[in-house]
Amino acid sequence: MTNQVPRDPKKSGEPDDFAVQIADQIESFIVAVREVAKGDEPDSAVPFLLLEVSQLMLAGGRLGAHEDIVPDERYEPDAGPEPDADELREQLAVLLEPIDVYSEVFDPYVPRSVPVACRISDDLADVVTDLTHGLAHYREGRVSEALWWWQFSYLSNWGPTASASLRALQSLVAHVRLDSPLDALDGLDTDEQPDAEEDLAEEAGKVMAAEIAEPLGLKRG
């Protein structure tokens, strides 16, 4: 089977299909995350976020596998004021408070990388900000600009960020479903980074998966 790289949507015979599909997936993700952040269904928060981020990464993979998208204009047109993600960030932080902080290695190809503290709430708010910027271009009819931005920011920012949060969310589900204790990063925060993996390990606390299973809807069978 031969792997085929998708053609440039501006040069293909179906210029709108790829853009419409990517835009639909992105808009669906933004709407879903904002709905989850309202906290109306806290029991389903983690499973829903796991599903939505997983689906978003499919759109990201398609953008990453695509040949370089070149925008129509040399300089990026003004997309208007950047959306304020602070409210979304705060809502998610409250909703995910017991398990918001996790450890992550930014680049697995950097030798002896040291894990750092991250927050799922920060990650998702940042991803939504990146995606919304491109969506503003798309809604104004600047399709190539939107696709270029989504592709560029997938490779440079929201892709790695969403991937990290996906691993954290998947780990939460796995810990609960496999009845495995979940260490909390007590005392570890994004403002104070450990100097080495040993320091990070010392920060592990005693919170168990059972303590977060009920409020987050990850009920064990």
Q: How many domains does the chain have?
A: 1
Residue 87 confidence (pLDDT) = 96
Residue 221 lies in a domain: no
Residue 142 lies in a domain: yes
Residue 199 lies in a domain: no
Give me the residues of the chain with pLDDT under 70, please: 1-16, 180-221
DSSP code, position 41 = -
**H or E element at residue 47:** helix 45-65
d(CA 95, CA 204): 21
Domain with residue 55: its CATH number is: 1.20.120.1550
Q: What is the dihedral of CA 174, 92, 102, 44, to 10 degrees?
A: -10
Query: 42-57, pLDDT tens digit by residue?
Result: 988 999 999 999 999 9
The residue type of 163 is S
Decide: 171 and 165 in contact? Cβ < 8 Å. Answer: no
Tokens describing residue 96: 């995910």
Looking at every residue in the chain, the average pLDDT score rounds to 80
Which residues span the domain enclosing 58? Answer: 17-70+88-99+119-181
Residue 187 confidence (pLDDT) = 45
Residue 205 confidence (pLDDT) = 33
Residue 114 confidence (pLDDT) = 81
Residue 190 lies in a domain: no
Which residues are CB-neighbours of 86 under 8 A, at least 6 positions away? 125
Residue 207 confidence (pLDDT) = 38
Residue 115 confidence (pLDDT) = 82
Residue 83 lies in a domain: no
Residue 217 confidence (pLDDT) = 52
Residue 31 lies in a domain: yes
Decide: 49 and 36 in contact? Cβ < 8 Å. Answer: yes
Residue 9 confidence (pLDDT) = 43
Residue 106 confidence (pLDDT) = 74
The number of residues making up the chain comes to 221
Residue 52 lies in a domain: yes
Residue 129 lies in a domain: yes
